C-alpha cells in the first residue's frame, strides 16, 4: 500500500452517503447525502486479505479477490455528473 493525500471534502451539516465506483471502475466517487459528488480518486485496489477471492460470499471482496486500497487514493475535486 502507498500513501494517499488528505480525505475528500464534505458538505457541512450533511451526512456522508458513501463511495461509488464509476463505470469501468476507473474512478472512485465520494458522494454526499445530498447526492453531490464530493471528490474523485483514481480507483486503486489491493488483494483481499481475507479470502483472496476464493469465496463469492466474502464480505470484503464479494469473490473478486480485491478491495479498495484506501491508503493509495489521491482525492481531488472534480465535477462529475
Share of the chain above pLDDT 90, in %: 16
34, with CB counted inside 10 A (0-12, 13-18, 19+), is: exposed
* Cα–Cα distance measured from residue 19 to residue 5, given in angstroms and rounded to the nearest whole number: 17
Return the higher-pLDDT residue of 59 and 6. 59
pLDDT score at 81: 46
Spatial contact of 41 and 2, defined as CB atoms under 8 Å apart? no
pLDDT score at 1: 47
What average pLDDT score do residues 20-25 get?
82
Amino acid at each position: 500500500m502507498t500513501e494517499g493525500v488528505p480525505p475528500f471534502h464534505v458538505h457541512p451539516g450533511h451526512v456522508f452517503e458513501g463511495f461509488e465506483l464509476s463505470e469501468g471502475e476507473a474512478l472512485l466517487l465520494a458522494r454526499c447525502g445530498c447526492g453531490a459528488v464530493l471528490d474523485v480518486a483514481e480507483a486503486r485496489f489491493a488483494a483481499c486479505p481475507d479470502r483472496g477471492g476464493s469465496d463469492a460470499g466474502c464480505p470484503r471482496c464479494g469473490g473478486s479477490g480485491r478491495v479498495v486500497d484506501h491508503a493509495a487514493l489521491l482525492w481531488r475535486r472534480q465535477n462529475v455528473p
